Structure 1
Amino acid sequence: MNAELLPRRYRTRVNKTFTLFWSLGALVGLFLLKTWTAETFSFSFQLWATIVTVAGFVFILGTVPRGFTHIDENGISRRSAFRIRRLGWADVYDIRTISMPSSAIRRYGRVQPDAVYAYRTDGKRFLLTFLNAEELGEENFPREMEVLHSLLQERRGGDWTPDPRVEEHIAEQAERYEERTNALTSWGLASVLLIAVTTVIIIQMITI
C-alpha cells in the first residue's frame, strides 16, 4: 500500500467536544442546583440524583474524546465507548457514502450528515465513525474519500469486479435503511418535542 497515505485517523473535532462538554456541564449544574435547592425532594433523592448525574457526565467526559476510526496497512479499526472493532483489508469489499433517503430529506431536511461504511465481503457494513463532511469539512471530505478509494483499489487490484450476491445484499440493506430512517426521523422529531416539553414541566415543578 501507499505508505505516505497511511495511517489515517478520524475523530470528533476538539471545538465540537468542548461545546458538548460545556453545554452538558451547564445542564448538569443547573439540574443539580435546582435539585438541591428545592425543598420538595428528600435528601436520599438528592444524593442519588447527584451520584447518577455526575457518573453519567464523567462517563461521557471520558468516552466521547476516545472514539475514533483508524486506517493503516492492516485494515480499519473503530473505537467506541466500550471496545475496538477491526476489519482487515482482505475482508473489505467496498467503501461507500450513504446519504439520507431523498424522501426523508424532502420531509424533514438533512437532519444527519452522510455516513461512510466499509462493506464486508459478506455484504454486512462497518460504520466509519467521524468520517463525514460535518467533522472534516465540505472541502476535505471528498479528498479523504478519494484517498480511501485509491487505497482500496490498490488492495483489490485492477481485475476486481463487483459480486452480484454482495451487491444484492447491499441493495436490500439500503431499502431497510430507507424504511428505518423515515420511521425514526418522524418519531425522532416527535421525541425531541416531547422531551423539550417534559423538561420545561419538570423545571417548573422544581422551581415552584
Structure 2
Amino acid sequence: MGGDYEDDRGDVRGIEREYSRRRKMSRGRFVGLCIVEGNFALQMARPDSIPGRYRLLAVALMAVLVVWAVLTVRRGRTTVGADGVATRGAFRVRRWAWHDIYDLRIEARPGQRSADVKSLTYLYDNDGRRARLPHLDDWQLPDLWAEVADLHTAAARHRGMTWERRPAVEVRIGERAAYRKAQERGITWALIVFFAALTCLLWETAVDDGPHTFLFLLLIGAPLATYGLLTPLFRRRYTRALAHA
C-alpha cells in the first residue's frame, strides 16, 4: 500500500493508494493445495490411470490453471487515485471514474470460517454491477472496515456527490445479486454432473479398451444442459424471494 502523505486539505492518508499482496496464504490453505497437486501428480504418474492423450490434456489444463493463479496473485492489485479506482488481474485492467462509482462495500464470504479471507471489498457502479477489489480484504489489511471508511472520506471530494443510497440502484443491485446466485447454483450443479460423467468415463477406460463416444458427448453435453435448465429456475426463485423481502 502506498506511503502516507499529507494532501492540500490536510488528509494524512491522501487518496493515492495501492493495495497488493502483503501476506502470503495461510499454512492450512498451502497444505491443502499441496495435497491436491500431489494427488494430481500421483494420478498422472500411474501408467494405468488414463490413456496418454487424455493425460496430456489434463496436464495442460492444470498448467494453465497454475499459471493463471500465479499471475493473479503476483500481478493483482487495486489502485485508488484522484481519477478513480483501477483493478489489475492476471491479464486485465479495469478502471472506474469516481462519478461512475456508486459505492464501496465490504461483504462477508458465507461459510468461510477458516479461510484466509473472510471479508472482501466490492465496487458497485451506478448500474448496480459489482467488481471485486483485489487485495482489499481482511487478510491483507489489519482493519479493513477502517480502511474502506477512510477511502469513502478521502474520495468524497473527488466524486462530486455524497455516498447516499439511491433506491433505483439498490433495486438493480438486488436483481443482479439474484442472477449471480442463480449462476453460482447452476455452475455448482453443472460441475457435479461433469464429475459424475468424468467418473463414468474413467471407469469405462479402466475396464474396457476405451470409452465410448457417447461418454465424451455426455461429458460435454450433460453439464451444459444442466446449467441451461437449472439457472433460469434458480433465477426465478431468487427473484421471487427478493420481491417478497
Which of the residues 135, 147, 151 maps onto 1:148?
Answer: 151
- The answer for the alignment partner of 2:135 in structure 1 is 130
Tell me the matched-pair count.
Answer: 195
* Amino acid in structure 2 at the alignment position of 1:149: H
Instruction: Report if the CA contact (8 A) 1:25-1:57 is conserved.
Output: no
Change (3 A) 1:53 1:98: closer
| Equivalent-residue separation in structure 2 for 1:203 and 1:21 (angstroms) | 28
1:24 maps to 2:33: yes
Q: C-alpha displacement at 1:75, in angstroms?
A: 1.7
Matches within 5 A, 1:41-80: 41-80=50-89
**Which one has more relative contact order, counting CA pairs under 8 Å at least 6 apart?**
1
How does the TM-score come out when normalised to structure 1?
0.65
1:170 aligns to what?
Answer: 170
Identity, % of aligned pairs? 24
The structure that is helix-richer by fraction is 1
Partner Cα distance (2:80, 2:151) in 1:
9
Moved more, 197-206 or 31-40: 197-206
CA RMSD of aligned residues (A): 4.2
Amino acid at match of 1:69: T
- 1:49-78 CA-to-partner distances (Å, cap 9, x unmatched) read 333333432332233321111112332110
- Deviation sequence 1:90-125 (CA, Å, 0-9, x none): 43343333457xxxx6xxx56784443333345544
Structure 1 position 89 matched with structure 2 position 98? yes
Partner residue of 2:47 out of 38, 48, 51? 38
Q: 16, 19, 42: which is aligned to 1:10?
A: 19
Matched-pair contact (CA < 8 Å) for 1:36–1:46? no
| 1:118 matches 2:123 | yes
The question of whether the paired residues in 2 share the 8 Å contact of 1:71 and 1:77 is answered with yes
CA gap of 1:126–1:59, structure 2 versus 1, over 3 A, is closer
State the SS of the aligned residue for 1:16. coil
Question: Distance between the aligned counterparts of 2:104 and 2:64, measured in 1?
Answer: 37
TM-score for both structures, normalised by structure 2: 0.57
Query: 1-side partners of 2:138 and 2:36: how far apart?
Result: 28
How far 1:141 sits from its partner (Å)? 0.8
Equivalent position SS for 2:136: coil
Residues 207 and 43 of structure 1: is their aligned pair in 2 closer, same or farther, counting only changes over 3 Å? closer
CA shift, 1:163, in A, is: 7.7
Shift of 1:82: 1.9
How much does 1:12 deviate?
A: 4.3
